[in-house]
Structure 1
């Protein structure tokens, strides 16, 4: 494990992994958050990866990309630029290196909502052709992994709805609701009806590290195997913050009901999520409350 490197250490999930596993070396353009003790190697651009030539590593966690599907779906090339080209560049480089494992990340939104049965396992059909640039970019990412599969042993982690504390302005439900709850503004949600599989970032980080040590290659779902409604999420955050969350009753994208079958990752690693939704949301709220006055998300452009 001491030969593991991680790209994307200044983003959403990267700092959680690095904090829990300080021996992992960070590679990237942006400096790490100041509280992290991991070694960090500056890499100004993925167009020049020669800094890796002298680095002794055999496993890589690749978190470069964008999950901001709201914006990606309004920009004609953003999905390719953020989610496909960076992956292509790193895989092209890695084909000449003998590594044991490469892990990258896509989404459970790839599954065909009209054909899936709950809980959804990795064998169920996908459908990238749903007029969603974000989903299509993640499909192309998976195709790149398959193209290089004989040279780069890889795991594709298909994330469910991942949440946790962050200083970033993100489009995800939980951080958006908490940031609004900590602001002077009204808190709204498009709809409280959808049911999703919500995974806390510390649990996700443990699962990813365990996957590094498996011989498996291919896609694997990462969720909790349990479903929680947006209404329940809202109720918990209302209790924590003392602010009401207004249901706007608007239509939402994606399936109205989704839960992962996590039998595969359990079988491969023995991993199971440790934190209930109540514990995860409480910790997330308290941590974000601690730096709300510093971040002042409500003053920033969410686009």
Structure 2
């Protein structure tokens, strides 16, 4: 499928990955509708920071994936739907699990049902590596068991299974992309890399973090956005789940050391108890097997961790006012 000229909807377009994907789709010549969560301030999230020419090219609509009737009106007439809207903060899911069910499970079901009703050509549903939980073997392929180690991951497992059921029950053309640990410009301080960078650049001499021993498979956001596009373009991904990862594993502790080396400032790392997950909920190891996405779409990451960190550090340095480094961002 060539996305140029296609009518494309992005839910969660105002967010971290969604905003990068939305920009890229405009560059590719798609007719993009950006669904932004309704708010009384008429705030469009990161879309507010787009170049005016990109904003002019967008059809920006406010709404809520939890509200089916409004969502139907947005999806009617679309050729392709990228579904990224979700609650994603793991710590907040411990205190408000039902909010995650309503948004991630019910909201996703609404998207799938509306796409089914209006015959959308392709849906790309967003999963997460958190659905795998702590690796039972590495690298993690798409056949790895799913483990609900937090209410967030449980809600995403449920959403993934709803996507699977709509493909198998109704032949809805949905593909599920499972990104591993995306980072880069526009990511909030709820994630570890911007937390590290923003604290250092704000002049902190003590870096407050949770556990340093878990490993992650980090992917630069531009690579992740391209993975979404490749999954949408490939007919072979319909009915499939595909990992989008680098096939490179690194511990949080080693990531901290890399960032400190690039920035060139000496800081002391201390463990902040508030930032630790409950023991059984911590995902201790993530390492993606990315063979399937390469075979089905030809995608592979272009950015090394060092390249991505440099661009991220530069962006955060120029936008430090977005970060509240004196508080723990849940």
Do these two structures clear the TM 0.5 threshold for a shared fold by scoring above it?
yes
The answer for the alignment partner of 1:180 in structure 2 is 199
The answer for the alignment partner of 2:225 in structure 1 is 205
Q: Deviations over 1:24-52 (max 9, x none)?
A: 41222352223241413313334213533
TM-score by length of 1: 0.89
Q: Alpha carbons of 1:256 and 1:54: their partners in 2 closer, same or farther (altered >3 Å)?
A: closer
Q: Partners of 1:179 and 1:196 in 2: how far apart?
A: 20
Structure ranking higher in helix proportion: 2
Per-residue deviation at 1:203? 0.4
Q: Partners of 2:215 and 2:323 in 1: how far apart?
A: 29
CA contact (8 A) 1:191 1:247 kept: no
Quick check: 1:246 aligned with 2:246? Answer: no
Q: Deviations over 1:29-78 (max 9, x none)?
A: 352223241413313334213533663x3111111002101111121312
Per-residue deviation at 1:271? 1.0
CA contact (8 A) 2:142 2:243 kept: yes
Q: Partners of 2:134 and 2:323 in 1: how far apart?
A: 37
Quick check: 1:273 aligned with 2:301? Answer: yes
What does 1:153-168 align with in structure 2 at a 5 Å threshold?
A: 153-166=173-186
Q: Partners of 1:110 and 1:43 in 2: how far apart?
A: 29
Matched residues, number: 297
Quick check: 1:88 aligned with 2:115? Answer: no
The answer for the alignment partner of 1:10 in structure 2 is 14
Q: Deviations over 1:104-134 (max 9, x none)?
A: 21222222537x2111111122233x4x211
CA contact (8 A) 2:132 2:144 kept: yes
Per-residue deviation at 1:300? 6.2
Q: Partners of 1:212 and 1:90 in 2: how far apart?
A: 16
Quick check: 1:35 aligned with 2:50? Answer: yes
Q: Deviations over 1:220-249 (max 9, x none)?
A: 111101111212211121123314250429
Q: Partners of 1:45 and 1:249 in 2: how far apart?
A: 35
The answer for the alignment partner of 1:282 in structure 2 is 310
CA contact (8 A) 2:83 2:124 kept: yes
CA contact (8 A) 1:68 1:170 kept: no
Q: Partners of 2:323 and 2:302 in 1: how far apart?
A: 31
* Structure 2 unmatched runs, 5+: 38-42
Q: Deviations over 1:167-198 (max 9, x none)?
A: x6342111111121222433122232222111
Per-residue deviation at 1:202? 0.3
Q: 1:102 is paired with a residue of what secondary structure?
A: strand
